[in-house]
Amino acid sequence: MSRPTRASTEEKPDGSDSVRLRILRGAAAAFGRQGYGATSVEAILAEAGVSRRTFYKAFRSKDDVLRVLFENSVAMLLGAVRDAQHSGRPSQERLVAAVEAYIHVHARAGQLARVLLLEQFSPNSPLSRQRDAAMAAFTALISDAFERDGGRRPDPILAAGVVAAINQIAVQMATEYPQGGWDVERAKNAMLRILLALDDRLDPKRWLRTKA
């Protein structure tokens, strides 16, 4: 009896979650290895073991796959940070745990994390809308956490700037450690120092001196 081929063992092309998951996993592997721009739909098909017809029943395009991978990554990040923020520990411990959770989700994603972090800022990125929504969600999450812990709700401009800076640290880590295995302590210390900007006690109005 001949050995079945990948095509002959392919699941029914019904757009089910199992087929979508195979395509997403295949795309994640291909994107991580080759980069987004250099990865063709054919490479995703080969990695996932599905036909072109099955692919286009589940997704509209390669861009569509990238958007879903990004949205899934953001959902995991938000979930990990929320869990840490609602752990019942003292506020400072929750803050450190939330930062660690954010870092570890990225670090475990390995090469895919680098692709998603860099691709969101590329010219004409298909992730521009999702990126803006993700930044807004993290800004709201951080602002809610500071307010819940008894502080004043941060200025939205300041909170958005802090989130952008934290995201840039993640980009830097992914660039220095493209295979994953980030320097967690280094990233954590940098992110925590940036988060201190939201502390009311560091308001520059309290220590800046203006000329008469």
| Per-residue pLDDT tens digits for 180-206 | 889 999 999 999 999 988 877 666 676
In a domain, 130, yes or no: yes
The total number of structural domains that make up the chain: 2
Is residue 96 domain-shared with residue 38, that is, in the same domain?
no
3-state secondary structure of 177: coil
Q: Are 44 and 27 a contacting pair, CB within 8 Å?
A: yes
Give me the chain's average pLDDT, please.
87
**Confidence (pLDDT) at 209:** 60
Rg (CA), the chain: 21
CATH number, domain of 149, equals 1.10.357.10
pLDDT band at 56 (very low <50, low <70, confident <90, very high): very high
- Whether pLDDT at 130 is above 80: yes
Residue of 116 and 203 predicted with greater confidence? 116
Give the mean model confidence (pLDDT) for residues 132-141: 96
Q: Which structural domain, as residue segments, surrounds residue 23?
A: 17-58
**Confidence (pLDDT) at 131:** 95
What one-letter code names the amino acid at 91? S
Q: What tens digit of pLDDT does each residue of 146-162 get? A: 888 777 889 999 999 99
Q: What tens digit of pLDDT does each residue of 70-110 get? A: 999 999 999 999 999 887 788 889 999 999 999 999 999 99
**Confidence (pLDDT) at 3:** 36
Is residue 27 domain-shared with residue 101, that is, in the same domain?
no
Q: What tens digit of pLDDT does each residue of 13-36 get? A: 444 569 999 999 999 999 999 999
**CA–CA separation, 129 vs 91, rounded Å?**
32
**Confidence (pLDDT) at 201:** 67
Is residue 75 domain-shared with residue 160, that is, in the same domain?
yes
pLDDT band at 114 (very low <50, low <70, confident <90, very high): very high
In a domain, 6, yes or no: no
Q: What is the pTM of this model?
A: 0.84
**Confidence (pLDDT) at 145:** 87
pLDDT band at 163 (very low <50, low <70, confident <90, very high): very high
Is residue 53 domain-shared with residue 66, that is, in the same domain?
no
Is residue 76 domain-shared with residue 147, that is, in the same domain?
yes
Where do we find the tokens 């599905």? 50
Give the mean model confidence (pLDDT) for residues 39-64: 96
Neighbours of 88 (CB within 10 A): 6
**Confidence (pLDDT) at 1:** 36
**Confidence (pLDDT) at 206:** 66
Is residue 53 domain-shared with residue 70, that is, in the same domain?
no
In a domain, 128, yes or no: yes
pLDDT band at 12 (very low <50, low <70, confident <90, very high): very low
The candidate with the shortest Cα–Cα distance to 157, out of 103, 197, 206, is 197
Is residue 105 domain-shared with residue 171, that is, in the same domain?
yes
**Confidence (pLDDT) at 207:** 62
